[in-house]
A and B are shown apart, each in its own frame.
Chain A
């Protein structure tokens, strides 16, 4: 592997790790760190917790899913950050939001009992509490090829007019189990229901996030050759398992 990007820092923010990390979401942070290292960068992870100042000089933001109660605990903090995150998204900062934080990056989450949790509206999506959990292996076709993951959510997410999905469901439920859409994209911001964790088994997607971060900060991205045989085997195994 090359080291020509050595000493080029990349700052990764992990959003609310205590409240929103329930389905292996730390694996996405780890994948960003390792792959950035393998591409020769010097990644640094900064944790953002509710009630403290948001880190500066951010290159990448990763956030995950949590309990419904966890969502309630971070929602106010996220709303207060809404304008700032909009600015970062417009400026091309790469972000990956899985499950619970994907929902809160949309317009709102309305529970079965009609309670409404406002989101920050990066994505034009609305989520409604559904009667049953959508659980199981997922395969989606995306601009990064087939993406494999596992979903576990009761919220049903509807895309607004003109909102681009992350992918089309080939197997599983995705946003709502009806329209075959999965996730949402705005600029370099990706929302998805796929955990599993999603990034290690989908290295093209992972590298696209690093590339977006590197290009925004340094104007270019020179990828190293990474041996992804193990990821390929896990992908073909997932395919064999009927995913």
Chain B
């Protein structure tokens, strides 16, 4: 077998060639993985603060960004995987530029966002020191089949974790996992306080059906390490160390991101122990901006255009609730490629009635989306499947605009916009 160093050298060469051709980012990682199957474990093994894994259905990318920035604010050197590259080969590809001359990762700690299914492959090679389990909602059932199955995947991640697991107290499927863990693993919870809990309906609340009583296992006032106790506009208030902390003005929209903030604070407090200063963490949290494609705002001829990624019913519903009614023209773009989920049934589990009208509907499943809105009695001005033509039409509208889109639709929209406008953060 090749030495780690040779594998890295070849990987870097492949990366340069791939960059020249403008092709995929995971290829060099794949090459290294094939040449040196122990690479990932070896590169991550020596990290003084270990590996943190963040997984769950919704909010992984934004929460990972929060955790990284919170840790960096306390002076740690953090390696993290970029959004979308959460296969092991993507993680390796991301590492190639950050290795020292011995092939070791030049960082104190790695914070990795892992897709539920890929997390299982990862933990076999690298047991995390800490893990953060965000939530379990119906998402891509064509891939996973059942929500119960996803719960089992997350439980495996928790069981492979060596030191401590942080879990969502308010998500019954997640908090249940905490109860089943062996006593040697430290457990902490994050959650929402009683005054804001109504903002976070779970899957059992579809169309006001109410929570599923069979799943209510954890009392809402159970001790949690970090609790989101208040929310007004962008100002969020957290409670930890037994005290309500001063409010933070978040730079990211969305009630769900305020809760992601509680999750990030909790895992960072677990990693840092008494090195964590509440003031420093809260200040850093307030300055975290949107992650790639998550509620980004672009200036289009003087008017803001927001891009909101939607992947599943609970995420879409929370996004719709996060914005004031009718404060912007709306476009919705739904694709049904593999990365989006092939099944569009979930659109029927979203209540769209907060929208008064929709200017443009697009994507491979534009017609299904238009039909969905029709059944909520919402007027759709234009149905245009092709994204570039749909964008032309949408951008011609004056004033603030917002696009809700699935993952591959977002990528396509970004690439059209990047050719026309200055798009922050696009590579």
Chain A residues near B (Cβ < 8 Å)? 17-19, 21-27, 30-31, 34, 47, 67-69, 73, 133, 135-137, 150, 152, 154, 195-197, 200-201, 230-231, 233-234, 237, 241
Closest B-chain residue to A14, C-beta based?
B209
- Chain A contacts of B366 at CB under 8 A? 237
Task: Kindly state the separation between the CA atoms of A133 and B212 in the bound complex, as whole angstroms.
Answer: 26
Taking a contact as CB atoms under 8 Å apart, the answer to whether A237 and B368 are in contact is yes
Q: Are B207 and A26 in contact, with the CB atoms below 8 A?
A: yes
Beta-carbon contact of A152 and B367 below 8 Å: no
Q: Which residues of A contact B371 (CB under 8 A)?
A: 200-201, 230-231, 233-234
Check if B375 sits within 8 Å of A196, measured CB to CB: no
- Does the CB pair A73–B142 fall under 8 Å? no
Q: A152-B142, A154-B145 are in contact. Are A200 and B372 (CB under 8 A)?
A: yes
Cβ of B209 and Cβ of A150 under 8 Å apart?
no
Interface assignment of B186: CB less than 8 Å from any CB of chain A: no
B374 touches A22 (CB 8 A): no
In the complex, the answer to whether A150 meets B345 with C-beta atoms within 8 Å is: yes
Q: Supply 12 further A-B pairs (C-beta < 8 A) apart from A18-B204, A21-B349, A68-B146.
A: A17-B207, A18-B213, A23-B141, A27-B349, A136-B142, A150-B343, A152-B141, A197-B348, A200-B375, A234-B367, A234-B371, A237-B366
B195 is an interface residue with CB less than 8 A from chain A: no
Is residue B292 within 8 Å, beta carbon to beta carbon, of the partner chain? no
| In the complex, residue of chain A having the shortest beta-carbon distance to the beta carbon of B364 | A241
- Please measure, in the bound complex, the distance between the C-alpha atom of A23 and the C-alpha atom of B346, giving whole angstroms: 6
**Which single residue of chain A is at the shortest CB-CB distance from B374?**
A230
- Is there contact, CB below 8 Å, between B367 and A22? no
A72 to B253, CA, bound (A): 40
Contact A196 B212 (CB under 8 A): no
- Complex-state Cα separation, A150 to B347, whole angstroms: 13
Chain B nearest CB: distance from A138 CB in Å?
11
Task: For A154, give the chain B residue with the smallest CB separation.
Answer: B145
Closest chain B CB from A203 CB (angstroms): 10
Closest-CB distance, B353 to chain A (whole angstroms):
11
A22 touches B209 (CB 8 A): no
In the assembled complex, which residues on chain A have CB atoms less than 8 Å from the CB atom of B372? 27, 200
Tell me which residues across on chain A come within 8 A of B375, comparing CB atoms. 27, 30-31, 34, 200
Assuming A21-B206, A47-B209, is B214 touching A73 (CB within 8 A)? yes
Decide: A67 near B148, CB < 8 A? Known: A17-B209, A26-B207, A73-B214: yes
Q: For the complex, what is the distance from the CA of A233 to the CA of B162, rounded to whole Å?
A: 53
Query: Are A27 and B348 in contact, CB atoms less than 8 angstroms apart?
Result: yes
Residues 362 to 385 of chain B near chain A (Cβ within 8 Å): 364-368, 370-372, 374-377, 383, 385
Let me know if A195 and B345 touch, CB within 8 A: yes
Q: In this complex, what residue of A is CB-closest to B138? A: A22
In the complex with contacts A17-B206, A18-B212, A24-B148 CB distance below 8 A = no
Contact present for A21 and B148 (CB under 8 Å): no
Chain A residues within 8 Å of B206, by CB = 17, 21, 26
Complex contact A19–B138 (CB within 8 A) = no
Q: Could you pull out 7 A-B pairs where Cβ atoms are within 8 angstroms?
A: A21-B349, A27-B349, A150-B344, A200-B372, A230-B367, A237-B366, A237-B368
- Chain B CB count within 10 A is highest, among A19, A31, A34, A234, for A234
Query: Which of B210, B213, B345 has a CB less than 8 Å from the CB of A197?
Result: B345
Instruction: Determine if B124 is an interface residue (Cβ-Cβ < 8 Å).
Output: no
A27 touches B345 (CB 8 A): yes
The docked-state distance in angstroms from the alpha carbon of A27 to that of B369 is 12
Are A135's CB and B142's CB within 8 A?
Answer: yes
Give residues of chain B (172-214) contacting chain A, Cβ–Cβ below 8 Å: 204, 206-207, 209-214
Q: Say if the beta carbon of B27 comes within 8 Å of chain A.
A: no
B9 at interface by CB-CB < 8 Å:
no
Complex: A197 Cα to B345 Cα, angstroms: 6
When the two chains form their complex, are residues A24 and B348 in contact, meaning their CB atoms are under 8 A apart?
A: yes
Which of B212, B347, B385 has a CB less than 8 Å from the CB of A24?
B347
Q: Is B342 an interface residue (CB 8 A)?
A: yes
Q: Does A237 lie within 8 Å of B142, measured CB to CB?
A: no
Is residue B147 contacting chain A, with contact meaning CB distance below 8 A?
yes
